[in-house]
Chains A and B, each alone.
Chain A
Amino acid sequence: MNRYQAIKDLWEERRAFSGRVYVAIGLCALLLAFLVLRLVQLQVVQHDYFSTRADDNRMRLVAVPPVRGLIFDRNGALLAHNQPSFVLNIVPEQAHKLDDTLARLGRLVKISERDVTRFRDRMHKTPRYRPVALRSNLSAEEVANFEINRYDFRNDGAAVDASLVRAYPLGAQASHLIGYVGGISDADYATLNESQYSGLTQIGKSGVEKSHEDALRGMPGNKIVEANAGGRPLRELDYKGGTPGANLYLSIDARLQAVAEQALGELDGAAVAIDPRSGEVLALVSKPGFDPQLFVDGIDGASYRALLEDPDRPLYSRALLGAYPPGSTMKPFIAVAGLIAGTLNPDAKVFDPGYFQLPGSERRYRCWKRSGHGWVDLNTAIQKSCDVYFYQAALNMGIDRIVSVLDGFGFGRVSGLDLPSERTGLLPTRAWKQKMYRQAWYPGETLNTGIGQGYLTVTPLQLAQATARLAMHGGGFKPHLLHAVEDPVSHDLTAVRPEALPVVEAGNTAAFDKVIAAMELVALPGGTAYAVFKDAPYRVAAKTGTAQVAGLRQDETVAAKLETVAYRLRDHALFVAFAPADDPQIVVAVVAEHAGHGGTSAAPVARALMDQYLLGRVTYNNPAAAALPAPAVDADGAPEEPDEDSDEHPDGWQSAPAPSLPDSGGAVPPPL
């Protein structure tokens, strides 16, 4: 009761309070010490660590992609370049209502169904925070339309970005040759060195773009930027430029390329022109071509399927990948082989009754000319393309000696041209047959090889290269496309030096002279190509050929329409030539698929190429169509010429492998 009324001891309260204040000061000192110690730990002891963390926070390494090198032809005509382009990009992550965004964009910028499907295709293959192109090559008006309304798209992740887009002025004309660039795929990433591609989104996918990728690409540089917490770069701290890609000058002559493309017209096939003095490829055409631009910013599924399913196979580079039976174009090489082997006497005559029989066999190997050529020597045999003469020549030589010389000419091997993929074709040997079919080599197969049929297949490029080596009397150079490289920094041009090949049967120039002389007759009256070359102001050495097709098409799985089948069963026309015959400057090989005979459909292409190259203009007008009737009524000793190659083989070789191989037709490796 009284306890609470007791008088307050004020002095005692004051003394007690002072005690508490001292305690409080002690407490403060203790807490302060904690703070200071902790600050020392952070700011002194761990300073370096946190400095690094702060720099990691703010600094971003950004790749600076190099500008891809340009591609020119030998005269400086542009074949591939980088075109400034405005691209409408969408960052999928930021486009929350994508359909709505697309609809609204469609009112400002032309967006086709194809653009949308392509965009969606690509969107699924790209990380969601990366921009995906919806439309490229926006017009100035479209860019303005978008930019004016930009504010409406602030929440859609849409933006117009300027960029460089690879462009190919020649379009389909050189599509297989130059190739194209495309997005770097996962498969590409598996093999490439990523530091060389930082900041780059495209890589050479085919053609020169692929084979010279390293030179064209250049080296990426990088810069360090300061970025805020949202990742937005605010300023540049350091810049290390990369090296732009080198400009390439190809040995190709764009005009020749165009001439060859035009001369082939509607035909499918390939034409290869080589300068035999250096191995430089002057023209390399494969028809039909495709639009390489389709691939540059990502092809849509439908267009790609259409290209793949096209029966003419436009994506397929016939000049390097098409393995065709060479037919009669093989005869000059067989002749060289025979002369070298000493089994062929150029002056000795062989009688051609229209067929050939192996000793002790009843089987008849037919000449394309049923009635036979009568007594023929080497000159006539090549000029008129007599099969029986070459059956005999091949038989005398034997397959082993044939193979060893044909191998020297480069058949059965890749030529080493600087393009990504090339077929070897097939140079059949005893060992190959044993391995493939577990069967011995039959003499009948030697006969077929002698006229360029049977198992033997070659690519148009091999045919051109072998002809070049023949023209150079067994010498010649490795074929190449790269003419000169321009240093991206100093702009110095470095010419590519031709690489000489080991000479085929050196010293035996007489054999080559003989055969070249005989080949000249082909373009002269009585020759199978006279109709095309009769008014040519230069000397031409040539050989026509027709390759039998029926039976080679088992790889066709799609049942085509009837008229298509008929077309597909027609023979391939082949033609090899060089000019001038005494001073070879250009070698041409032409394959025209299903075009009948080499003299009428393939030779005009070669004529046009040679005219253009040697004369600077095409003097030969009216290929196949107009030329046809004239020689037929010509009185200069070659009345049958136009029809010559048309029935050159069907009988001639189809009967040949029969004894050994009931299914010989089917056993020939697919040409594609």
Chain B
Amino acid sequence: MTVNVSVISSAPKPVGSWGAWFARWHFDLVLGLLLMAVAGLGLFVLYSATGQSLGMVISQAQRLVLGLVVMVVLAQAPPEFYRAAAPWFYGFSMLLLVAVAVLGQHAKGAQRWLDLGVMRFQPSELMKLAAPIAVAAYLQSRHLPPSFGTILVSLALIMVPTGLIAIQPDLGTALLVVTAGVLALFFGGLRWRWIILAVGAVAAAAPLLWLKLHDYQRNRLLTFLDPERDPLGAGYHITQSKIAIGSGGLFGKGWLMGTQAKLDFLPEAHTDFIFAVYSEELGLIGVLLLLLLYTAIVVRCLVISMRGQDTFQRLLAGSLGLTFFIYVFINCGMVIGLVPVVGVPLPLVSYGGTSAVTLLAGFGILMSVQTHRKLLTS
């Protein structure tokens, strides 16, 4: 442990330390250990949330290992490679999104999957990376802070794929793609006046938007504002989730002892609502530990981003790191009734393959940024 602490606090390359040894293989030990800590904790919760299904835990562990492999592989390429490949990667992802729109598979009533024969694949996941990479690469080539024209081009890069994802419909992923892209813009120095203007415009458009919403969408919003309005219908998820979390108390009911999850009162216990299982069984203390780990990951990402050697690296690293935080916030927020229910999993913990792999791939690019620095910074 002392070694790790020294890595966090020390200058770029302390010779002879474990960190240096790993860095030679383009692996950031701090980020890596934090990620594995969260993923390991996640597997324990998953075991409980799946009703002690070892099979599901193993298959999730396999995905996580796959994700770690992808992470390490992606870390080997220098950041310049990603910048150069940005247009191709973006174009490829767009192609797949269009393909899904045309001939995708239906899953849970939404058209998100592309059947590759061997496995099914969700192209919107790719876009979570492709969009921020494209925006960062584009902004790298422009004068910053971005001019109006630059902003318009960036927004186009973000909104076209977002639109395609939103009509699948997969609002959760669309939201994360927008977040990643817009955060790249934000880190690129988007002027405050534009930010304020945009926020104002959204606020002004809200009533109009309300009129445009479908009944079920309005219902969802109303239910968010007052879940007890319909505790057996639309508000059931959130009500049961709050009961699970609240009944966990300070110290929790103990691992495998959560009644809400075990007795099936909590829906989606092993996917979107796994945070409620965690909170019920491990209590506030356990939750604070998890949030601390997540925060440490985000801080590490921002530290890496600040060490980035060019604008592309900084914007991309900053965007990916902060998106990860938004990810965590939206999932926790919806489970505890702070934000409306949207389908965003708890990163690295929720059961489900592609999102974990995508996340870890993103961290691979962050490690690439961290470990390919030249001694002379630009």
Contacts and interface: CB of A to CB of B under 8 A. Distances in A.
A53 B336 CA distance: 16
A54 B315 CA distance: 46
Interface string B291-319: 10001001100100110001100110010
A24 B314 CA distance: 13
Interface in B264-301: 264-265, 279, 283-284, 287-288, 291, 295, 298-299
A17 B287 contact: no
Given A16-B145, A18-B306, A35-B336, A47 B249 contact: yes
Interface stretch (A36-44, A92-100, A372-380): A36-44
B34 to A, nearest CB: 15
A24 B259 contact: no
Contacts of A228: 263-265
Interface in B234-254: 240, 242-250
Given A32-B291, A34-B338, 19 more contacts: A6-B143, A10-B311, A16-B145, A17-B318, A20-B186, A24-B186, A24-B187, A38-B336, A38-B337, A39-B245, A43-B246, A43-B250, A43-B283, A51-B247, A53-B246, A54-B244, A58-B260, A58-B263, A229-B264
A224 to B, nearest CB: 13
A234 interface: yes
Contacts of B246: 42-43, 46-47, 49-51, 53-54
A24 B265 contact: no
A20 B318 contact: yes
A25 interface: yes
Interface string A165-205: 00000000000000000000000000000000000000000
A1 to B, nearest CB: 13
B135 interface: no
Interface size range on B against A = 35 or more
B36 to A, nearest CB: 22
Interface string A634-658: 0000000000000000000000000
Contacts of B243: 50, 53-54, 57
Interface in A3-23: 3-4, 6, 8, 10, 13-14, 16-18, 20-21
Contact of B247 (A10, A40, A53): A53
B189 interface: yes
A227 interface: yes
A28 interface: yes
6 contacts: A8-B143, A17-B187, A24-B183, A24-B318, A39-B245, A39-B284
Nearest to B294: A32
B307 to A, nearest CB: 10
B300 to A, nearest CB: 12
A35 B325 CA distance: 12
A32 B328 CA distance: 10
Contacts of A39: 245, 279, 284, 287, 336
Contact of A20 (B147, B187, B299, B338): B187
A179 to B, nearest CB: 44
Contacts of B144: 8, 13, 16
Contacts of A50: 242-243, 245-247
B155 to A, nearest CB: 18
B265 A58 contact: yes
B322 interface: yes
B86 to A, nearest CB: 18
Interface string A223-237: 000111110001000
A28 B263 CA distance: 35
Interface string B321-347: 010010001001100111000000000
A31 interface: yes
Contact of A24 (B288, B322, B332): B322
Interface of A: 3-4, 6, 8, 10, 13-14, 16-18, 20-21, 24-25, 28, 31-32, 34-36, 38-40, 42-44, 46-47, 49-51, 53-54, 57-58, 226-230, 234
B142 interface: yes
A53 B241 CA distance: 11
Contact of B288 (A28, A36, A38, A229): A36
Nearest to B253: A54
Contacts of B311: 8, 10, 13, 17
Nearest to B249: A47
Contacts of B287: 39, 43
A16 B240 CA distance: 45
Given A3-B143, A18-B306, A42 B322 contact: no
A117 B68 CA distance: 68
A25 B291 CA distance: 15
A165 to B, nearest CB: 34
Contacts of B291: 32, 35-36
B378 interface: yes
Q: Which of B189, B247, B284 has most A Cβ within 10 Å?
A: B247
A25 B183 CA distance: 13
A43 B335 CA distance: 13
A26 to B, nearest CB: 12
Contacts of B265: 54, 57-58, 228-229
A20 B317 CA distance: 13
Given A20-B186, A49-B246, A57-B243, A10 B333 contact: no
B306 A21 contact: yes
A16 B143 contact: no
Given A16-B144, A21-B306, A230-B264, A28 B242 contact: no
A8 to B, nearest CB: 6
Contacts of B247: 47, 50-51, 53-54
Q: Which of B187, B263, B311 has most A Cβ within 10 Å?
A: B263
A265 B250 CA distance: 81
B286 to A, nearest CB: 10
A229 B295 CA distance: 35
Given A34-B338, A35-B336, A28 B249 contact: no
A229 B336 CA distance: 20
Nearest to B283: A43
A10 B308 CA distance: 12
B322 to A, nearest CB: 5
A21 B318 contact: yes
Nearest to A53: B243
Contacts of B183: 24
A234 B183 CA distance: 49
A25 B299 CA distance: 8
Nearest to A14: B314
B263 A40 contact: no
Q: Which of B246, B284, B298, B314 has most A Cβ within 10 Å?
A: B246
A15 to B, nearest CB: 10
Top 3 A-B pairs, shortest CB-CB distance: A50-B246, A54-B247, A229-B264
A222 to B, nearest CB: 20
A44 B279 CA distance: 12
A500 B250 CA distance: 71
Nearest to B239: A53
A24 B306 CA distance: 12
Contacts of B143: 3-4, 6, 8
Contacts of B299: 25
A51 B329 CA distance: 25
Nearest to A47: B249
Contact of A227 (B242, B263, B325): B263
Contacts of A13: 144, 189, 311
Contacts of A44: 249-250, 284
A39 B286 CA distance: 11
A54 B259 contact: yes
Interface in B104-119: none
